[in-house]
Structure 1
Amino acid sequence: MVVSMADLKASLADAHPAPALSPPLAALWWAAKGNWDRAHKIVQDESGKDAAWVHAYLHRVEGDLGNAGYWYRQAGQPVAKDSLEAEWERIAATLGEGERR
């Protein structure tokens, strides 16, 4: 499934994410909809670097920077210093590219 940023953002008008989205992208989708708990539940139950990266982002949103740091290390990503919106876009773009392969 090809996931473009435009498609992902357009889908935010829907009630639920597309079923074909990977769990990390679905978690980002829920985060963008303001449902932190649902997003966290998804990535908490997943393994892998992509889920860890989204998990880090979610703890940054929450303001728990210590926990976020742990998850950035698990993801092999540097701790984000830019805005939450810019980080969401960067993660979504990177994961969307991964789903094109």
Structure 2
Amino acid sequence: MDYAEFQQLLAADEPPDLPPALRALWQQGRGDWHGAHATVQEAGGADAARVHAHLHRVEGDAGNAAYWYRRAGRTPEKGSLEAEWEALARELLERDFRAEGEST
């Protein structure tokens, strides 16, 4: 799956079968901050922590976002929320679906 396909999935009523960090980005992309937050809150790992940080930036809670960036081993983002969302989606899609595409 590439970024354009992921964007098209934003029109779906039900979340696609995606890893938790991508599912949370899908939820946030549809305006469901609370659903996205619940998804990453339950997930572990650096990817979920990065998305968690992004969500707290969206919320306007810089202190909580900084905590989650540290948990992800990342420097806090300074750019636009839209640019961060897109960069996260592109990176996660490339990594999570590259191996799938190579096996076919």
Range of TM-score over shorter length = over 0.9
Shift of residue 93 of structure 1?
Answer: 0.7
Deviations 1:24-74 (A, max 9, x none): 000000001000000000000011000000000000000000000000011
- Specify which of 69, 84, 95 is matched with residue 81 of structure 2: 84
% same residue: 52
Amino acid at match of 2:14: H
- Structure of higher RCO (CA pairs closer than 8 Å, 6+ residues apart): 1
Which residues of structure 2 form unaligned runs of 5+? 100-104
| RMSD, aligned CA | 0.7
Q: Give the aligned length.
A: 98
Which residues of structure 1 form unaligned runs of 5+? none
Name 1:15's counterpart in structure 2.
Answer: 13
Within 5 Å, which residues of 2 pair with 1:1-101?
3-19=1-17, 21-99=18-96, 100-101=98-99
Q: TM-score, normalised by structure 1?
A: 0.94
